[in-house]
C-alpha cells in the first residue's frame, strides 16, 4: 500500500463521501462493478505516506538536503490538504492488462482560478497525480521528469471530469505516460498531456 498509513485515524479518501456529486457516485458504482471480475482495481487514497515507505526516499536524497524527521512526520499529500468538498475529491481505478488508470475527479470551490473555472495549476496537479500513479504501479518509486500539458478548454468550477491515463512505453528507467481530461459524457475534451517519469535508483543519491 504505497499510500497507506500507520495512523489508525487515517481514512481511505477514495470511498464515497457526502460531498460527492451524483455523477461521481454513479461512476464510482460503475467502476466498482467492473472490479468484481478483477479486470479493474480500486486504488485507495490516504492523507499520509506510510512511514515504512517514506523511509525509502532518503536513500535518493543527499544527506545535507534531508528534511528532519519531525517535519517529515507532519507531511501529507498535497491533494488531501483541503477539507472535504473544498479541494480535490477523486478516486482512481487501474486496469493492469491495459496499463491504464481512470481518475474520477470532482474539484471544489477552493480550486478556482478565473471566476467560475478551475485554476490551471489544480488541473495540472490532478494530471500529475494520475499519470504519476500510473507510473508508480508500473515501475515502482518514480519522479516526474517532464509534464507537458495542452489546455484545450477551461473546466467549469465544481464540475466532475474523467482523467484517462495510459502507460505508453517503458525505456529502461524511463516511463512515458499520456492522458486526457474529458467531461463525464466524454463529449468534451478539456486537456491533453504527456509525461516522462524516471524510476529512482536506490544505489545513487541526487546531486
Rounded Cα gap, residues 87 and 7, in angstroms: 22
Question: For the chain, how far is it from start to end, CA to CA, in angstroms?
Answer: 29
- Catalytic member of 10, 84, 96, 128: 128
Choose among 119, 116, 109: nearest CA to 82.
109
The whole-number pLDDT of residue 101 equals 98
The whole-number pLDDT of residue 48 equals 65
The whole-number pLDDT of residue 206 equals 52
- Note the pLDDT tens digit of each residue in 107-131: 999 999 999 999 999 999 999 999 9
- On the question of pLDDT at 157 being above 50, the answer is yes
Residue with cell 484545450: 152
128 is known as an active-site residue: yes
- On the question of pLDDT at 143 being above 50, the answer is yes
Q: Are 24 and 32 in contact (CB under 8 A)?
A: no
Beta bridge partners of 163: 103, 181
Q: 190: which 3 cell numbers?
A: 478539456
Rounded Cα gap, residues 110 and 167, in angstroms: 31
Q: Are 77 and 12 in contact (CB under 8 A)?
A: no
- On the question of pLDDT at 192 being above 80, the answer is yes
- Note the pLDDT tens digit of each residue in 29-80: 999 999 999 999 999 988 765 443 445 555 555 544 556 666 666 677 778 8
The whole-number pLDDT of residue 47 equals 75
The whole-number pLDDT of residue 63 equals 44
- Note the pLDDT tens digit of each residue in 172-186: 999 999 999 999 999
The whole-number pLDDT of residue 12 equals 87
Rounded Cα gap, residues 46 and 24, in angstroms: 19
Beta bridge partners of 171: 174
Give the domains, in start order, of the chain with CATH numbers. 22-199 (3.10.129.10)
- On the question of pLDDT at 9 being above 60, the answer is no
Residue with cell 460503475: 30
Question: Buried (b) or exposed (e) across 84-116, using 16+ Cβ within 10 A?
Answer: ebebbbbbbbbbeeebbbbbbbbbbeebeeeee
Amino acid at each position: 500500500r504505497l499510500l497507506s498509513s500507520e495512523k489508525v485515524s487515517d481514512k481511505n479518501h477514495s470511498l464515497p463521501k457526502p460531498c460527492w456529486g451524483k455523477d461521481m457516485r454513479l461512476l464510482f458504482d460503475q467502476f466498482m462493478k467492473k472490479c468484481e471480475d478483477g479486470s479493474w482495481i480500486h486504488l485507495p487514497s490516504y492523507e499520509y505516506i506510510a512511514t515504512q515507505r517514506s523511509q525509502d526516499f532518503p536513500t535518493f536524497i543527499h544527506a545535507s538536503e534531508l528534511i528532519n524527521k519531525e517535519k517529515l512526520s507532519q507531511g501529507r499529500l498535497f491533494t488531501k490538504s483541503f477539507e472535504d468538498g473544498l479541494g480535490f475529491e477523486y478516486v482512481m481505478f487501474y486496469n493492469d492488462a491495459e496499463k491504464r488508470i481512470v481518475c474520477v475527479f470532482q474539484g471544489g470551490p477552493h480550486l478556482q482560478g478565473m471566476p467560475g473555472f478551475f485554476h490551471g495549476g489544480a488541473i495540472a496537479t490532478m494530471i500529475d497525480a494520475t499519470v504519476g500513479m500510473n507510473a508508480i504501479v508500473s515501475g515502482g518509486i518514480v519522479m516526474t521528469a517532464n509534464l507537458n500539458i495542452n489546455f484545450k478548454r477551461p473546466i467549469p468550477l465544481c464540475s466532475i471530469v474523467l482523467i484517462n491515463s495510459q502507460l505508453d512505453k517503458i525505456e529502461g528507467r524511463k516511463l512515458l505516460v499520456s492522458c486526457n481530461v474529458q467531461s463525464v459524457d466524454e463529449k468534451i475534451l478539456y486537456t491533453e498531456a504527456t509525461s516522462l517519469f524516471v524510476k529512482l535508483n536506490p544505489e545513487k543519491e541526487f546531486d
